[in-house]
Structure 1
């Protein structure tokens, strides 16, 4: 995981004008990110922080494109540096960590800068570090001495306990609870309402299913389901 700067304030103060930003992906989470941007702007005491230009999406469905338009935003084109004349900030609003990595690396290689977005109603404890491209949705809570890598996603009302490390491209879904002193490897996905017990390590690429309860270390990538959680093998149902 690359180094993540300490977070010193919830909302960056604009210097002269709002910063241009695009969201990669106009699906459900991408549109939730647009709401985070709107909340940041609405709560800023110095004027709008971000100017949302719209969405980039390689294959938007007609339904998602229509929902984006109803938000007041357009799908600008495919995920390519050639779509935009300038080099705006960007954030990837896609849940899959592996897809998020590919798209983020593509844009960063072209000189685009990832934005870190923290909803005003997220809660952040003392001495936390948050990497570039990371999104904290409303109600997300991290306590003290937590480290979030680059392009991490914390969905609404999830919790992350003390001294925990979430490496790059981790996704924590709504209402999931990650206890203290945990290490999640890159591209781990924790499903809605899942629980991970204190002090555990979960290997990169692991998916923890919705409502699963993880009570032991997971040394290799796997899909974990159930209470207590166990590996889901090929051919088994959830």
Structure 2
């Protein structure tokens, strides 16, 4: 945990917080912070700064807070991700949050099993928990927005074209003739399929909506690897 994220409920006064959950344990057992030590802190969806340890005992940790720094700049990206397998979703969400994605759409596709949508990993609480782990890792405070789209065709035909307007639209698809571009600075909409890739019909519909198929080479990557590789190459 490189950043201690704070919530409004943590504040016991204007500039003091009391922590008595996993964050307090991390401060005590991992940071091994003593009275007077400074820690990197951030206020959820607001500024970052520093927290001075005023108290640390079996009742928890009290910090005096100062906020004077902006969080890292977000990626200029809307990411559309075919819902991964539940055990892979958690890691993917953490990577996505760490890398600075602020708008994520989890999408159903032909190769996504319907049972995935009923997994506890897709609950708002679990999604939020994994996104927060990514923020803590990256020293960021801005929680990504996540939308769930359980029907492929209505989303791609009715909502995606407007979403793509004014952005660089891309869909990662093995075997595409064009290589993935590098070093983009413009607003981008990127779709990444399941491990088996989007089926041809889905690629066709995504293309009609304004996304250009691109590839990363001959290798077929796991979803969490593809996400990291694509975002690193694009931005």
TM-score interval w.r.t. the shorter chain? 0.3 to 0.5
Which one has the largest radius of gyration?
2
User: Higher helix proportion, which one?
Assistant: 2
TM-score by length of 2: 0.33
Which gives a bigger RCO, structure 1 or 2 (Cα 8 Å, sep 6+)? Answer: 2
